[in-house]
Amino acid sequence: FIDNIFRFTQAGSEVSALLGRMPSAVGYQPNLATEMGEMQERITSTKTGSITSIQAVYVPADDYTDPAPATTFAHLDAVTALSRQIVELGIYPAVDPLASSSRILDPRIVGDDHYNTTQNVKQILQRYKDLQDIIAILGLDELSDEDKLVVSRARKIQRFFSQPFHVASQFTGREGKYVKLEDTIKGFKEIIDGKHDDLPEQAFYMVGTIEEAVEAGKQYQE
């Protein structure tokens, strides 16, 4: 476990400055990519063994294009990005699906159903993100019926991403749930297909399966 890989970059930048090297973009050392590559290659898998590395990455000013995190991400097999905006919505774990990625998210590995559902979810969330400026300026009522539907489903998807953890039950007041991967995929597919357009978005918050969301929706409607 590496906490925090940004410190490695920061230390290299300070040493580079002391050596009098000309800094590159944003003040980082000119050999940032080389240094990061050499460090990451020391823990890469070989024929004789492998090491699973979990690295915490600080993102300066939430800028994912900053050379420090961007250089690190290039070496990682999977990235789980945490978002302040999602925390503000009260959704935990506060994972940003659009900024997160995984190299095993390939139809040849996870299957077509899982892959296609993931891409459809990201497409809806990206469209919702694109519409947020318009909503902030003109309001939700000025959107087309199609875009209103996208916003509604995106907000339900966001809340369905929330997970009632066993370890957090004393804080959330909700019992932890175990949900099978197949049930999770099924739930998102039904939201995408519009099978639950009639349910309020609150019904999808901190539930396990889609059936629990439907049951919660009935209680809200009563």
Residue 124: give its domain's CATH number.
Answer: 1.10.1140.10
Domain annotation covers residue 90: no
What integer is the mean pLDDT of 28-43?
87
Q: Are 89 and 156 in contact (CB under 8 A)?
A: no
Give residue 166's pLDDT. Answer: 84
Residue 43 carries which side chain, given as an amino acid letter? I
Please determine, for residue 221, whether its predicted confidence score (pLDDT) is greater than 80: no
Amino acid at 46: T
Domain stops at, among 76, 91, 115: 76
pLDDT of the residue at 171: 76
pLDDT at 2 over 90: no
**pLDDT at 24 (0 to 100):** 80
Domain extent, residue 50, equals 5-76
Is 95 inside any structural domain? Answer: no
Q: pLDDT confidence of 190, banded at 50, 70, 90?
A: very high
**pLDDT at site 5:** 87
Alpha carbons within 13 A on the beta-carbon side of 149: 11
Q: Which amino acid is at 201?
A: E
pTM, whole model, 2 decimals?
Answer: 0.83
Amino acid at 55: Q
Closest CA to 157 of 117, 113, 106, 130: 117
Q: Is residue 196 part of a domain?
A: yes
pLDDT tens per residue across span 144-167: 899 999 999 999 999 999 988 888
Residue 92, domain member (yes or no): no
Residue 1 has pLDDT above 80, yes or no: no
**Residue where a domain stops, chosen among 55, 76, 97:** 76
The 3-state secondary structure of the chain, one letter per residue: CECCHHHHHHHHHHHHHHCCCCCCHHHCCCCHHHHHHHHHHCCCCECCECCCCCECCCCHHHCCCCHHHHHHHCCCCEECCECHHHHHCCCCCCECCCCCEECCCCHHHHCHHHHHHHHHHHHHHHHHHHHHHHHHHHCHHHCCHHHHHHHHHHHHHHHHCCCCCCCCHHHHCCCCCCCCHHHHHHHHHHHHCCCCCCCCHHHHCCCCCHHHHHHHHHHHHC
Yes or no: say if 159 and 201 are a contact pair by the CB < 8 Å rule.
yes
Question: What is the mean pLDDT of the segment spanning 71-82?
Answer: 91
Looking at the fold, whether 68 and 114 belong to one and the same domain comes out as no
Of 23-27, 68-72, 82-86, 176-180, the range with the lowest mean pLDDT is 23-27
Count of the separate structural domains present in the chain? 2
pLDDT at 220 over 90: no
Gap between the Cα atoms of 204 and 76, Å rounded: 32
Do residue 136 and residue 189 come from a single domain? yes
